[in-house]
Amino acid sequence: MEAVCLDTHPHILLAEDDEALRDLLDFTLTRAGYLVSCCTNGLDLLERLAEGDPFDLVITDLRMPALTGLEVLESQLDNQQSVPFICMTAFGDRKTHEQAELFGAAAIIDKPFDLDEMIELVRTTSLRNPHQAKP
C-alpha cells in the first residue's frame, strides 16, 4: 500500500448545517483525494476564513444559522486572498443564483445533487484556481 501525503492535496473548507449531508460530503470528498475541514454554520465559516488557514476551496450552504453563506461570500468581496466558493442551495431560485454570482461564487449547485456532479464541480473549480494542485 502506497503512503499518501495529505499536504499535497487541495484543502476544502466545507460549511453545511445539516449533519448528515456534511458527513456525506466530507466522506465523499476525502475519498476523492481532498483534505476537508468542516463548519456547522456561517459564523464558524467566517471565523475559519479570518484565521487565515490556507484553504483552496470553500463549499458552503447558502442558508445556515448565525450567518448565511451569501453573507460570508459577500464579506470576502474585498479580500485579495479570497478562495473560490461553491455555493449549495435547496432554494435555487434565479435571484439567489444571481446574488451568489454577483458576490463572486465560482459555482452554484442546487440540492439535491448527484455526488459525482459535486466531485466534478470541485475538480473543474480546482482547475480554474491556479494556486491549487489537482488531487
- Residue 135 covered by a domain: no
39-66 pLDDT, tens digit each: 999 999 999 999 988 899 999 999 998 9
15-31 pLDDT, tens digit each: 999 999 999 999 999 99
What is the sign, positive or negative, of the torsion defined by CA atoms of 13, 15, 21, 22?
positive
- Residue 79 covered by a domain: yes
User: In this structure, what CATH number is given to the domain that contains residue 15?
Assistant: 3.40.50.2300
d(CA 14, CA 60): 6
Nearest Cα residue to 86 out of 104, 110, 60: 60
d(CA 93, CA 95): 6
84-109 pLDDT, tens digit each: 999 999 987 899 999 999 999 999 99
- Residue 116 covered by a domain: yes
Domain that holds residue 95: 8-127
The predicted structure's pLDDT at residue 41: 96
- Residue 117 covered by a domain: yes
Tally of structural domains, the chain: 1
- Residue 134 covered by a domain: no
- Residue 112 covered by a domain: yes
* 99 residue type, one letter: Q
- Residue 3 covered by a domain: no
